[in-house]
A and B are shown apart, each in its own frame.
Chain A
Amino acid sequence: MPMVMLRENAAGDMTLYVAKKDLEDVVTSIEFDQPDKWGGTITIGDGTSFYIDPLDCPPKLPVSLRARRG
């Protein structure tokens, strides 16, 4: 269960950062991206995916969340 941090980079894209692994990459897909449901499987640029328990609304960035390996 790593902690991941989601933030916006200078170009305005959402990135996912895993401090323990120095992994920071652009989010390429989010399973649920609706106003009332946000999260699920998140895939990043290098192909790794994480699972975040869906939230009730899109979070305000940046935010740290618990994630599972997706």
Chain B
Amino acid sequence: MSTMTTEQTEALIQEVLEVYPEKAKKDRAKHLAANDPTLEQSNKCITSNKKSLPGVMTIRGCAYAGSKGVVWGPIKDMIHISHGPVGCGQYSRAGRRNYYVGTTGVNTFGTMNFTSDFQEKDIVFGGDKKLDKLISEIDTLFPLNKGISVQSECPIGLIGDDIEAVSKRKSKEIDKPVVPVRCEGFRGVSQSLGHHIANDTIRDWVLPTRDNDNSFQTTPYDVSIIGDYNIGGDAWSSRILLEEMGLRVVSQWSGDGTLSEMELTPKVKLNLLHCYRSMNYISRHMEEKYGIPWVEYNFFGPTKIAESLRKIASYFDDSIKEGAERVIAKYNAEMEPIIAKFRPRLEGKRVMLYVGGLRPRHTIGAYEDLGMEVVGAGYEFGHNDDYDRTIKEMGNATLLYDDVTGYEFEEFVKAVKPDLIGSGIKEKYIFQKMGIPFRQMHSWDYSGPYHGYDGFAIFARDMDMTLNNPCWGKLIAPWKATGSEAAAKAA
């Protein structure tokens, strides 16, 4: 199928909405749209960050997932207590693949699960005593931890425990920061509020700790990487580029990050913001309080990387600008053979994306570098400002879907017939069984990194490996194949 016109896309949306009852149809219609890149603001065409409709299949997570899983979790030298019943932490344990260096269980704790394991009696009598005891135990067993965060699960808010009081008391006792985070899962409509809550707790409990301490030796080239969670090593392949152009990366938020790195962030000269959705709050705060400008960048695909490196360099003097050009020239030469190899195999293929709050727009450039086209994109928990940024990147009349339901996504895919889908584990097997090549774009399908030049090489290989896998031609049993199909396969 060739590209669709706005009318066709709208007709498709109408067709898909047909099955819903009147009220649900009205609600869902606001979340689906045909893109119009001429619009400056997305709220004219799409509604987002609203409560999901009861009764439909949504792919969203909860505020606890946003705080514990995304923002706090990767800070490797702190212990993050999943405060409440055991399941929330256990079922999400180590699933995110945010890599780090260190000895797990000794000085880093990223893949471990700490929980207060609530039982009936804790719900009835309150869990503050248990938390108190737990923190002492943790500090005895893992003395090299640099601090503790208490990530509330749903029951904590419901039974009204005073985790702030316990945290304050214990913090004095063990002489380390203990941060209470009110990220109960029922707050907000998705994990996005959890990001915000986590940002606010970092603002209140972490950033001010070194406000009057100027012992840290700064340089004019200090930057910090904000909103890179080091999925499969993403932050590392980004960091080397920045260092190569002459900058000094003081902190990584929060993939492979440490508490002291975060505390030092207010001393940097520029904040580099990759995931806007989850960490714009703290960047705006640092701009206001410490006067640190922030800049959004995109390290997916050589075109966007070069653009971003130049944008970042424009905040610094000529030596950095030259550094950026040097880096771009060096790696572009390396990228040429990669593009030459994979582009012919992928040219013209069409992709539909449905990821969290950043990648649907950020990866578009990388696909385009490979000659592929993104024909549909949507966010699980994006807000208006994410769509503002997306509509300019996407082609005219392409599909936009916010918080898409399982049913809608399937119907869209049947109609649009993309060659590749990029989404999460919950969608993966449905679409693979429909015979459509699929890549997980949250966890990079256990591959990665995808950021930076090194990452692009892996990205290109992975996309080729998935799309051109011979298995897609073997979905029909040979004895069921008709003559023409068999001939097509042989060809």
Contact = CB atoms under 8 A, between A and B. Distances in A.
Interface of A: 5, 7, 17, 19, 21-25, 45-46, 62-64
Contact of A22 (B40, B284, B385): B385
A7 B40 CA distance: 19
B287 A7 contact: yes
B385 A24 contact: yes
5 contacts: A19-B196, A19-B284, A22-B385, A23-B384, A63-B288
B49 interface: yes
Given A22-B49, A22-B385, A62 B41 contact: no
A15 B385 CA distance: 13
Contact of B384 (A5, A22, A62): A22
Given A22-B49, A25-B41, A62 B284 contact: yes
A45 B388 CA distance: 14
Interface residues of B, number: 13
Q: Shortest 4 CB-CB distances between A and B: which pairs?
A: A22-B383, A22-B384, A62-B288, A22-B385
Contacts of A63: 288
A19 B281 contact: yes
Contact of B41 (A5, A7, A46): A46
Interface of B: 40-41, 43, 49, 196, 281, 284, 287-288, 383-385, 388
B107 to A, nearest CB: 36
Contacts of B196: 19
B385 A5 contact: no
A65 to B, nearest CB: 11
Given A22-B384, A24-B385, 8 more contacts: A5-B288, A7-B284, A7-B288, A24-B388, A45-B40, A45-B41, A46-B43, A62-B284
A21 B384 CA distance: 8
Contacts of B385: 22, 24
Nearest to A23: B384
Nearest to B281: A19
Nearest to A62: B288
Contact of A17 (B40, B41, B49, B284): B284
B49 A62 contact: no
A46 B287 CA distance: 25
Contacts of A45: 40-41
Nearest to B42: A22
A63 B388 CA distance: 23
Contacts of B383: 22
Nearest to A60: B291
A59 B384 CA distance: 27
Contacts of A19: 196, 281, 284
Contacts of A24: 385, 388
B379 to A, nearest CB: 12
A50 to B, nearest CB: 17
B340 to A, nearest CB: 35
A24 B281 CA distance: 13
A21 B385 CA distance: 10
